[in-house]
Amino acid sequence: MKKITLTITLLISYITTIGAQGFAYTEKTELGNGLYKVKSGNYYGIIDKNDNVVLSVEYQDLLFREGKALLTKDDILLGIIDTLGTIKTIPGEYKVHPRYKYVYEGFIPVSQGIKWGYTDKWGYIDENGKPLQIKQKIKGAQNAGKKYPTLFDNVTPFVDGCASIYLKKSGWRHIDKDGLERFKLNDKKAYATFRSSIHKGECIIVTDDGIKQYQENETSQAIVKRILSTSATWTNAEDSTQPQPPRLTFKEGTLTLDSLMRVVKYQNGTDSITFIEKPKKIIIKKDTIIPPVDTLSAEKYLNIGLASRNLQANAKGRAYAEIKIKNTSNTKFENISVLIECPGATRKWDGNLQANSEVSLTFNIPARFSTTTLKRNITVHITYKEENIEKKFPITIRRYTPIRSR
């Protein structure tokens, strides 16, 4: 009976383990601030480091850009979340653009199609849900009321304060965040089949007159900076209402774009020009850790000693001490000054001390006294650059006793 019970217990434990493994998160990505993006099944959410739910796991993929991600279900925009876990609800029913699913400079490309039937029309709202409406009449633009954004046939993200919008009746245009038209062509009848996003105050505009690089003057007029070609014959992407491919090909040459619809490069059969350089890979070499070279220190590397602390006076009433100074470093000490003192006597020495070498300095001390022994202190002063070292050695001098003959 015990064996059966044990077997059942182990089986339940095994099934529980297998089940737990099967329901583990299939993805877990660190967001910073102690938060993690997780995936369970086909849905995403956010948990904290303690496994507490910050955002319910019920949304489409959370695509963060500049610290913010859209909250969507079935491509319907519900709100915005940042990497701190702060959630902002977006009022209304908007569909996010299939190509641009981020917040771009505070604006989101959306469609108002759910309620009004404009399923193929696009506009912008800011991250607080406020709609962007153009302030100038542009042929083909549609307004559904003050509470809703102006709608176009296609849009691109805001980059450097401007976005490109497409209208079948009037081609591609540029607008800014105030809803004003920018980079206006002098020929009002010109139909732009492509306008790039702005990069450093410049853009590429394609018309029947060719492929040209433009800047903008103080009246928002587009002025030609460089002519890339004097004609533009498309060989792909004839339908400009569709999301533009990474490369736009013409008989005259090819425009290479990035994900923000900026022109990176133009190339024809014989020549090319690069507008946005690829970031150079910065290879950071791990610094070779070199132990710091200690400043040559007299205190650290000069050993000062006394050959003997017990001295014997001679018949002339003198006692000789021997001071030893050793350089323990692998570097030469230059211009060392040594001063040895004892009551009634001094000695100076100036010189160099080679690496791992030693100098011995004898010192003559007066030693005429009547007592059996005499106690003194020998003081050694060493000056090296700005260092001053002082060492004291107590000594005992024995009185000279002549040897008497028998």
Q: Given pLDDT bands bounded at 50, 70 and 90, which one contains residue 368?
A: confident
Q: What number of H helices and E strands is found in the chain?
A: 3, 29
Q: Which of 61-70, 89-98, 158-167, 293-302 has the lowest mean pLDDT?
A: 293-302
Segments of the chain assigned to CATH 2.60.40.10: 298-398
Q: Is-above-0.75 flag for pTM?
A: no
d(CA 73, CA 96): 10
Decide: 254 and 247 in contact? Cβ < 8 Å.
yes
pLDDT at residue 124, as a whole number: 96
Ramachandran region, residue 386 (left: φ > 0; alpha: ψ -120 to 50; beta: rest): alpha
Residue 239 has pLDDT above 60, yes or no: no
Quickly count: other Cβ atoms within 10 Å of residue 261's Cβ.
24
Of the two residues 92 and 152, the one the predictor is more confident about is 152
Q: What is the mean pLDDT of residues 157-168?
A: 95
Arithmetic mean of pLDDT, 339-368: 87
pLDDT band at 361 (very low <50, low <70, confident <90, very high): confident
pLDDT value at residue 369: 82
Q: Alpha-carbon distance 149 to 133, whole Å?
A: 5
**Nearest residue to 34 (alpha-carbon basis) of 58, 53, 50, 55:** 50
pLDDT band at 295 (very low <50, low <70, confident <90, very high): low
pLDDT of 293 strictly over 50: no
Mean pLDDT over 21-27 rounds to 71
- Look at residue 15 in the predicted model and tell me its pLDDT: 36
DSSP 97-148: PSS--S-BTTEEEEE-HHHHS-TT-BEEEETTSPBP--SS--TT-B---TTS
CATH topology of domain 298-398: Immunoglobulin-like (2.60.40)
* pLDDT tens per residue across span 59-72: 999 999 888 999 99
Which position has the higher pLDDT, 406 or 109?
109
C-alpha torsion angle, residues 95, 101, 105, 107 (rounded to 10): 0
- For residue 143, what pLDDT band results from cuts at 50, 70 and 90? confident
DSSP-derived 3-state class of residue 66: coil
The residue with greater pLDDT, 2 or 51, is 51
Local confidence band at 402 (pLDDT 50, 70, 90 cut-offs): confident
Does an H or E element contain 15, and which?
helix 2-22
